[in-house]
Amino acid sequence: MGRWYKRSVLQEEQRLYSRAVKARALPGQAFKFSDSVSLTGGYFKDLFEVSDVPIEGELGSVCTMATTRGTCSILLVLSSLVMYGGFCDCYEYGDFVTNSTPPPVSGFALFESYYNYSCPQAASIVNDLVDKILAADLNMAGGLQRLHFHDCWVNGCDGSVLLNSTSHFVAERDGFTNFMIRGIPEIDEIKAAIEDVCPGVVSCADILALVARDATYKVGGPWWPVLLGRRDGFVSLARNADTNLPFPNLNFDELVQNFAAKGFSPREMVILSGSHTIGRSHCNGIQPQLYNFSGIDDLTNPALDPTFAAGLRQQCPKGNKENIVDMDPTKNVFDDLYFKEVLAGKGVFSTDSALITNPLGLQVVTESSTPGSTFFQEFADAMVKMGNIELLTGTSGEVRKHCQFIN
C-alpha cells in the first residue's frame, strides 16, 4: 500500500466541491469515498453523500489516495491545484513503502496516469526508443539513468540539465560535475518522437524520469511506478550544478550532508550509490582517488586493493580525463556486484570507497551485497522519492518543444 502525505484547507475543499459538481463527466474520473475513512475531521464524509462526483475539463485525475487504515480512494483532483492553494498535497510511493522524510514537493501531486488522455502513447514511445538506444549501445543504460539524478539534484526535476549554454549563461550540462553525463542526444530523439504525436504535452522532465526507469529495468534492475506531471524549468546554471551535485572526492560525512539537503537519509544515500553498478565513467571523476587522495598530491587511496589500484592507474594515467573505465565488472547488468566490489576495495570513485568508512555505511553495503537483500526494492523506493524533488507543476514552468531550448 502506498504512503501518502496530505494537506487540506476547508475553504479550498468547499471551492473544489463547488467546481466539481458543476463539471461534466469524464469516463473513469470520480470522487469515491468509503465509509471507513474520515478525512479532515469527517468533513468529506458529511459533504459527499453521493458516491461519485464526476469531473472534467481543468479538473483531472491528480492522485489516488490510499491509507493503511481504510479504503478511501480519490481518483481525481484539480489539474490546476496550485491556483487554488491545494486540496491534496500527495506524495506516492506506489507499492514501495519507506519511513524516510519525503523530499520538498511543490504544487500538485504527481500521478502515473497524468498523460492517459492527453498523450496515451507517451510511455510506449519512450519504452520503444529506449529499447532501440540500448540495442545500439548497451552502455547507454547507466548514462540515461544518471541524467535523471543530475537533473533532480539541481533546481529539482525540471529538465534543466538538458538546456544548452548561451552567450548569456553557462548551463548545468557544461559544469564541472556534469563532465561525464551522456544521453542528451538520445533524450532529444525521444522528445521529437513524442512531439510528432502529442505536441506541447509531455515535459522533458517527465521524459527523463521515464527513461531512467526503463533503462534500469531493461538491464536487470527493478521496476518502479513513474509518477508524472512535472513541468520544465527556465533556469540552468553551471554554478548551481557544481554547488549541488556531489563531487567524486567527498568523504562519507560530506555525502550524508549532500543527500540530506535533498531530504535523503544516510541509508538512502548508500542505496542510491548502487546506481554505479551500471555504466562507465571518464577518468576525470576517478583521478582524485588515484593521484590526490585527501588533497595530498600523488597519494592513492590506501583502502583500494593494490592490484585494482594499479589497474586503474593504467587506465587513467595522471592528467588524463578522457579515458573511460567500467563502473564494475558487470557494467551492463544492474545487480549487487557493485557492493561486493566496494567491500573488496574495488570502488571506482573515492565516494564508493567512502561508503564503508562509516559503520552505518558498511552495514548497508554489506546487507546490499548479500543474496535476497532489499536493495532492489529500496533503490526503486529512493528513485520514486528522487523524482519528487522540488517540482514545477500546474502553471509553473513550461512544457518545452525542444529539450535543449526554452520555448
276 is in an annotated binding site: yes
Cell of 15: 471551492
Chain-centre distance for alpha carbon 175: 20
Q: Which residue has the cell 546490499?
A: 368
Cell of 252: 562519507
186 is in an annotated binding site: no
160 is in an annotated binding site: yes
353 is in an annotated binding site: no
390 is in an annotated binding site: no
148 is in an annotated binding site: no
Please name which of 148, 195, 105 lies closest in space to residue 393, comparing C-alpha atoms.
Answer: 105
Active-site option among 150, 168, 282, 402? 150
328 is in an annotated binding site: yes
CA distance 399 to 159: 10
Burial group, residue 116, by CB count within 10 angstroms (0-12, 13-18, 19+): middle
CA distance 231 to 235: 12
151 is in an annotated binding site: yes
Q: Which residue has the cell 481543468?
A: 58
* Rounded-to-10 torsion of CA 363, 364, 369, 371: 100
Cβ atoms within 10 A of the Cβ of 291, count? 17
User: How wide is the angle at C-alpha 210 spanned by C-alphas 209 and 215, nearest 5°?
Assistant: 105
Query: CB neighbours of 282 closer than 8 A, spacing ≥ 6?
Result: 179, 180, 321, 322, 323, 324, 325
Q: What are the DSSP calls for 207-234, one per residue?
A: HHHHHHHHHHHHTT-------B---B-S
Q: What are the DSSP calls for 26-61, one per residue?
A: -TT-EEE--TT---GGGHHHHH--SS--B--TTB--
Q: Give catalytic status of residue 282 as yes or no.
A: no
Cell of 24: 461534466
Q: Which residues are the active-site residues?
A: 150
Residues annotated within a binding site for Ca(2+) = 151, 154, 156, 158, 160, 172, 277, 328, 335
Residues annotated within a binding site = 151, 154, 156, 158, 160, 172, 246, 276-277, 328, 335
Residues annotated within a binding site for heme b = 276
